[in-house]
């Protein structure tokens, strides 16, 4: 599974979501941005966040990042606590068994190290360009035809 982080959601707002889930306080002491995490199961929410806050339901992505799908993280954020940075993704991207590995072998994907300044900022229009820049790739030089050297 994967989470897209560059498609912001206008609706629902964080406050609307807390209201729907009956999470106090309203208004919340803190807010995080919402995004469309992908086309699968928009009713499921996942908070991708810094690993300075975790609970038993958190999955460590690496030493700096975690993914939490429990209401506890939303309660912590609404109460003014929780992780230093985070984004709430509604939905996710999914692959069948072996599909992602096969796509990576076919050069369908480029991967770059996670960067908090890209993951959590609100400049969604340039996230992909900044991620490519971390790999020292000029998007104007990309081709739609892949090959092997």
Digit-coded pLDDT (tens) for 52-111: 999 999 999 999 999 999 999 999 999 999 999 999 999 999 999 999 999 989 888 888
Only one residue has tokens 């300044």, namely 117
Q: Considering only residues 118 and 146, tell me which one the structure prediction assigns the higher pLDDT.
A: 118
Question: pTM for the complete prediction?
Answer: 0.90
Edge-to-edge strand order for the sheet containing 65-68?
A: 33-36, 86-92, 40-50, 65-68, 58-60
Domains along the chain?
14-97 (3.40.1740.10)
Residue 148 reports pLDDT greater than 70: no
Task: Give per-residue pLDDT as tens, 100-140.
Answer: 999 989 888 888 889 999 999 999 999 999 999 999 999 88
Radius of gyration of the chain (CA): 17
């Amino acid at each position: 599974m994967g989470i897209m982080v560059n498609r912001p959601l206008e609706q629902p707002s964080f406050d609307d979501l807390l209201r729907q889930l009956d999470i106090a306080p309203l208004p919340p002491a803190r807010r995080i941005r919402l995004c469309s995490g992908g086309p699968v199961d928009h009713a499921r929410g996942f908070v991708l966040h810094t690993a300075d806050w975790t609970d038993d339901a958190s999955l460590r992505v690496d030493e700096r990042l975690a993914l939490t799908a429990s209401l506890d993280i939303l309660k912590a954020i609404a109460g003014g606590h929780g992780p230093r940075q985070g984004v709430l993704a509604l939905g996710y991207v999914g692959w069948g068994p072996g599909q992602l590995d096969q796509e990576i072998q076919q050069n369908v994907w480029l991967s770059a190290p996670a960067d908090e300044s890209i993951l959590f900022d609100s400049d969604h229009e340039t996230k992909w360009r900044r991620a490519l820049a971390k790999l020292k790739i000029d998007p104007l030089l990309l081709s739609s035809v892949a090959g092997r050297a």
